[in-house]
């Protein structure tokens, strides 16, 4: 029945458009009632579908008509306004083919973004690069990584920990070609970065850039808590605490028990 009522609706539309008349709702109602009478013996009982939805009918007809209310033959499908989505907001894509962005922290009006072999300092207003802290793995570390049958892509330094400490220094840790390493940077008066200390990133950053890991820095106690792995194969999952005394020392470290399935069973899959 609904299909038949729809056919009747289309018939009314075609009748008005073929004559070039301006749409008159009263005439449409008369035509619709006439069609209902002619088809009474066919069991058409849903003409209310047409009458009650006259507003939808007029809206549909308005789409087909020209701006002056008459059928013009050619429908203008040009939009009233074009919006370039690329210009709706600021974007940052980096300057490498594969930056592998993973994390960021705020520093006043700037963003520090950890990526592959670099930390980007971006303006929060324009997302333009203010400075780049370059940190690539040494040729020796890359060679050792390759000898362990790792791909050239994986044998880079992917930044996985980026912390602004309570004394103003920046702690950066990366995979370093499957040999995790951390550096502590001081920010000079001219906004350049100076390496103050370098130490092992084992249990802080994962070995494999594809492994999941997370960290939390406690500003009040200057302590770093990480959820990561502590071995090359990525099987020794752990939660690790590393106190930082402002000089990057490794005293009073603590970790979950190794191979204790009652504590951690399998690899971590966490985020903060």
User: Per-residue pLDDT tens for 40-70?
Assistant: 544 444 444 444 455 555 555 555 554 444 4
| For residues 249-259, average pLDDT | 75
| For residues 161-178, average pLDDT | 94
The dihedral sign for the CA sequence 50, 55, 58, 60: negative
Is the pLDDT confidence value at 104 over 70? yes
User: What mean pLDDT, rounded, does the chain reach?
Assistant: 76
Please tell me the predicted confidence (pLDDT) of residue 163: 94
* Main-chain phi, psi angles of 223, to 5 degrees: -120, 145
HEC-encoded secondary structure of the chain: CHHHHHHHHHHHHHHHHHHCCCCCHHHHHHHHHHHHHHCHHHCCCCCHHHHCCHHHHHHHHHHHCCCCCCCCCCCCCCCCCCCCHHHCCCCCCCCCCCCCCCEEEEECCEEEEECECEEEEEECCCCCEEEEEECCCCHHHHHHHHHCCCCCCCCCCEEEEEEECCCCCEEEEECCCCCCEEEEEEECCCCCEEEEEEEECCCCCCCCCCCCCEEEEECCCCEEEEEEECCCCCCCEEEEEEECCCCCCCCCCEECCCCCCCCCCCCCCCCC
User: Is 271 or 202 the better-scoring residue by pLDDT?
Assistant: 202
Please tell me the predicted confidence (pLDDT) of residue 252: 78
How much is the pTM? 0.63
User: Per-residue pLDDT tens for 177-210?
Assistant: 999 999 999 988 887 889 999 999 999 999 999 8
């Amino acid at each position: 029945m609904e299909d038949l009522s729809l056919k009747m609706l289309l018939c009314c539309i075609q009748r008005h458009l073929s004559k070039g008349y301006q749409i008159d709702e009263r005439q449409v109602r008369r035509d619709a009632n006439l069609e209902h009478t002619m088809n009474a013996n066919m069991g058409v009982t849903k003409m209310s579908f047409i009458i009650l939805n006259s507003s939808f009918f007029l809206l549909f007809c308005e789409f087909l008509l020209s701006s002056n209310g008459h059928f013009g033959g050619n429908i203008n499908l040009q939009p009233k306004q074009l919006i370039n989505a690329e210009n709706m907001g600021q974007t940052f894509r980096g300057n490498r083919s594969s930056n592998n962005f993973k994390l960021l922290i705020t520093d006043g009006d700037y963003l520090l973004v950890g990526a592959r072999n670099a930390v980007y300092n971006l303006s929060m207003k324009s997302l333009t690069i203010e400075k780049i802290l370059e940190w690539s793995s040494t040729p020796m570390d890359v060679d050792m990584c390759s000898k362990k049958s790792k791909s050239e892509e994986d044998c880079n330094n992917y930044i996985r920990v980026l912390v602004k400490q309570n004394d103003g220094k920046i702690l950066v840790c990366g995979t370093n070609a499957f040999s995790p390493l951390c550096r502590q940077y001081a920010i000079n008066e001219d906004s350049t970065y100076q390496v103050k200390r370098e130490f092992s990133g084992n249990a802080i950053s994962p070995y494999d850039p594809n492994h999941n890991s997370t960290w939390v820095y406690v500003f009040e106690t200057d302590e770093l808590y990480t959820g990561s792995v502590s071995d090359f194969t990525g099987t020794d999952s752990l939660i690790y605490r590393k106190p930082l005394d402002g000089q990057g020392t490794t005293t009073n470290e603590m970790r979950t028990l190794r191979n204790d399935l009652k504590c951690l069973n399998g690899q971590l899959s966490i985020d903060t």
